[in-house]
Amino acid sequence: MPTTPPPTAPLLAPVASATALIVGAGRGIGLGFVKQLLEEPRITRLYATYRDANSAAELLALSQWQGDRLILFKLDITEEAQIASLADEIKARSGSLHLAIYAVGILHGPDFQPEKSLRSLQSEPLLHYFQVNAIGAALLAKHLMPLLRHGEPSIFAAISAKVGSIGDNHLGGWYGYRASKAALNMLMKTTALEYERRCPQTLVVVLHPGTTATQLSEPFQRNVPPEKLFSVERTVAQLWDVLARLQPGDSGKFFSWDGSELPGRFLSRFMGRPSNFNICQS
């Protein structure tokens, strides 16, 4: 864990006035990022999306006294037309983006739970995992590319999870969540390669936040030792520190909350040589 967190992402340091977007900001880690970025004077315009107003009361209240600095959009990530409209709106208002964070994710819901065995697999919840946890991020990267492509540096970060690691899967279970996070990692790696060609000043990275006390982890916190269950504030500070330390060659990598890079053990084992597919590990 790095000791002295820099105040603002140095990669963005040359940017006098940065524009950021948090997708999935209604609660949890996404909401934490909104609060963090509002503390950063260099972020002069912050866009944030929420899906359900009922669970986004704190975000909606925040926007009341932030004026034009914090602009909210209602967005369901499973609707591509809404993602396209979001990009159009940001283009019309700001013209460009310097930072986009995908903080959307599902693990359980009112009518589905992570699967413990093959017996409980059903295609509909599986598809929903993929749509929300993986496909949404790729569609966002598709629609944001013109906004991230400009003369200044920019970052596209998606929050994944270590349980998406194929090589690290020793326990089994959670088929849909694990598989959708593995898909997210591959979609982001592939996006990073295309961005390198078409949008070379943008770094595309994937982040593992560590177990964090949010609604997503709530039913599974019982067996987590207290020192391994992070508050949202701690997680966001740690991930912000990771983003702050990104270097120009980091695109396509998967970073854990402590700044360590999660390596691609699965591929290197099968290919018999070190792999640079860094984000396949989790």
Ligand X SMILES: NC(=O)c1ccc[n+]([C@@H]2O[C@H](COP(=O)([O-])OP(=O)(O)OC[C@H]3O[C@@H](n4cnc5c(N)ncnc54)[C@H](OP(=O)(O)O)[C@@H]3O)[C@@H](O)[C@H]2O)c1
Out of 18, 22, 28, 179, name the contact with ligand X by CB under 6 A: 28
Q: Please list every residue from 138 through 197 that binds ligand X, using CB under 6 A.
A: 159, 161
Q: Which long-range contacts (CB under 8 A, 24 or more apart) does 221-230 make?
A: 230/257
215 binds ligand X (CB under 6 A): yes
Q: How far apart are CA 84 and CA 143, in angstroms?
A: 6
214 binds ligand X (CB under 6 A): yes
132 binds ligand X (CB under 6 A): yes
Out of 8, 19, 185, 211, name the contact with ligand X by CB under 6 A: 211
Q: Which is nearer to ligand X, 15 or 23 (CB)?
A: 23
77 binds ligand X (CB under 6 A): yes
Out of 22, 27, 46, 155, name the contact with ligand X by CB under 6 A: 27
Out of 19, 20, 30, 203, name the contact with ligand X by CB under 6 A: 30
202 binds ligand X (CB under 6 A): no
Instruction: Point out which residues bind ligand X (CB under 6 A).
Output: 24, 26-30, 50-52, 55, 75-78, 103-106, 132, 159, 161, 209, 211-212, 214-217
